[in-house]
């Protein structure tokens, strides 16, 4: 399913590592914060039961806001999405 958050008066939805919002500026900021966080920390643990919620908690703590609703998605789908983000963020140039 995913996580619904509110930042000010704007709502955003996180599912399998991708943020969506009617406010494109907020959507871009949340996706960039998520990418930066995954690049610097590796993101949520591989064995996390609900990685989207962990990501939302981390990003909301940085951006401000509140989690309104959370429902765990299929573990395999979410696992693959974060694994691919980790692999894409790896710097091969050292």
Q: Could you report the per-residue pLDDT of 22-48, keeping only the tens digit for each?
A: 999 999 999 999 999 988 988 888 788
pTM: 0.80
Could you tell me the pLDDT band of residue 16, with boundaries at 50, 70 and 90?
A: confident
The stretch 75-79 carries a mean pLDDT of 64
Could you tell me the pLDDT band of residue 74, with boundaries at 50, 70 and 90?
A: low
30 vs 11: CA distance, rounded Å: 11
Strands (E), the chain: 2-7, 10-15, 18-21, 66-71
User: Tokens in use for 31?
Assistant: 């996706």
pLDDT at 92 over 60: no
The stretch 38-59 carries a mean pLDDT of 88
């Amino acid at each position: 399913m995913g996580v619904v958050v509110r930042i000010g008066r704007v709502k955003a939805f996180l599912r399998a590592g991708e943020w969506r919002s009617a406010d494109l500026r907020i959507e871009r900021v949340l996706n960039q914060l998520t990418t930066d966080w995954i690049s610097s920390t590796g993101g949520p643990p591989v064995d996390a039961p609900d990685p989207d919620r962990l990501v939302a908690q981390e990003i909301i703590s940085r951006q401000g806001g509140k989690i309104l609703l959370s429902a765990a998605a299929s573990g395999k789908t979410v696992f693959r999405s974060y694994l691919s983000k980790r692999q894409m963020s790896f710097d091969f140039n050292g």
